[in-house]
Amino acid sequence: MPNYVSEALHKFQHPAPYRPEHAPHDWTKPAYGQRQQFVTPHDDSDLLDQDGINRVQQVVGMFLYYARAINSTAMVAINSISGEQAKATENTAKKVTRLLNYFATNPDATLRYKKSGMV
């Protein structure tokens, strides 16, 4: 699927990122030695308008197809965003921007299969 990502980024008018983004999703740093791992607090940011929600849904739909077919590393981020897309907030829009920056940094993912010596 050559040029799929570049055409999608052009469709969404997403500029090239200032700094390369090497991870599609935020992560919670583990606190070793603690008995409890605390979850992130509830998202209290402002809700997006209908145009913003539609943009989030379009990005998720377009890149869900690409992630299932070629680049499965983005599935966690897409799943996280798709769970929030009905009531998208400003933080959801930031997650979408991070995902688009990741795809702009890594536009041409390939699948490579190698035979193994296992019998």
Domain boundaries, the chain: 1-15+45-109
Q: How far is 95 from 24, CA to CA, in rounded Å?
A: 8
Put simply, whether the predicted model's pTM sits higher than 0.85 gets the answer: yes
Token pair 């409890």: residue? 36
CB of 90 closer than 8 Å to CB of 48:
yes
Q: Mean pLDDT for each 10-residue chunk of the chain (119 residues)?
A: 90 94 86 79 89 95 92 92 92 95 91 86
pLDDT of residue 112: 86
pLDDT of residue 111: 84
pLDDT of residue 36: 80
pLDDT of residue 5: 92
pLDDT of residue 46: 93
